[in-house]
């Protein structure tokens, strides 16, 4: 059974608070339950407690764990959680090869669609 936006829990992770807060605000305004974390470590702790449906994370964060490492951990420990990797940095080499060596499949940016809300 697909989730409606009212029941989809989304965690937004970015060490730039204004970016995480803005994305969460937009998602909340569209009916999603959006929460924020400002480091991969904070996101990991929150995810282990709250079990989000989706995590949207910056790849390049200024902490001990990158967004890619967070995604790998989530894939191993919360396989039902979908992960969207984003970055404001240009990442041409990994995208051109299709894989970054972690087993995660990378693709060029495209319009993402979260499940639609109830009519």
Q: Considering the domain boundaries, does residue 62 fall inside one?
A: yes
Q: Considering the domain boundaries, does residue 103 fall inside one?
A: no
Domain housing 12: 5-97
CATH of the domain at 18: 3.40.50.2300
| Nearest one of 72, 88, 85, 75 to 112, comparing CA atoms | 85
Q: What is the pTM of this model?
A: 0.74
Split into its structural domains, the chain has a count of 1
Q: Indicate the SS3 state at residue 54.
A: strand
Q: Considering the domain boundaries, does residue 102 fall inside one?
A: no
Q: Considering the domain boundaries, does residue 107 fall inside one?
A: no
Give the pair of three-digit tokens for residue 10.
């989304």
Q: How far apart are alpha carbons 4 and 105 in whole angstroms?
A: 26
Give the pair of three-digit tokens for residue 85.
């990797």
Q: Considering the domain boundaries, does residue 23 fall inside one?
A: yes
Bridge partner list, 55:
11, 83
Q: How far apart are alpha carbons 18 and 38 in whole angstroms?
A: 10
Q: Considering the domain boundaries, does residue 117 fall inside one?
A: no
Could you tell me the mean pLDDT of each successive run of 10 residues in the chain, 119 residues long?
A: 67 96 96 96 95 94 86 94 84 46 53 53
| Nearest one of 72, 90, 73 to 108, comparing CA atoms | 90
Q: What is the dihedral of CA 36, 44, 78, 95, to 10 degrees?
A: 80
Q: Considering the domain boundaries, does residue 84 fall inside one?
A: yes
């Amino acid at each position: 059974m697909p989730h409606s936006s009212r029941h989809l829990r989304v965690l937004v992770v970015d060490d730039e608070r204004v970016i995480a807060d803005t994305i969460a605000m937009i998602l909340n305004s569209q009916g999603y339950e959006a929460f924020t974390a400002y480091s991969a470590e904070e996101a990991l702790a929150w995810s282990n407690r709250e079990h989000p449906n989706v995590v949207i994370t910056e790849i390049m964060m200024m902490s001990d764990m990158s967004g890619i490492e967070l995604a790998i951990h989530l894939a191993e420990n919360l396989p039902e959680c979908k992960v969207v990797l984003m970055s404001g940095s240009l990442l041409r080499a990994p995208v051109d090869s299709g894989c970054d060596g972690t087993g995660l499949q990378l693709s060029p940016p495209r319009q993402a669609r979260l499940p639609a809300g109830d009519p």
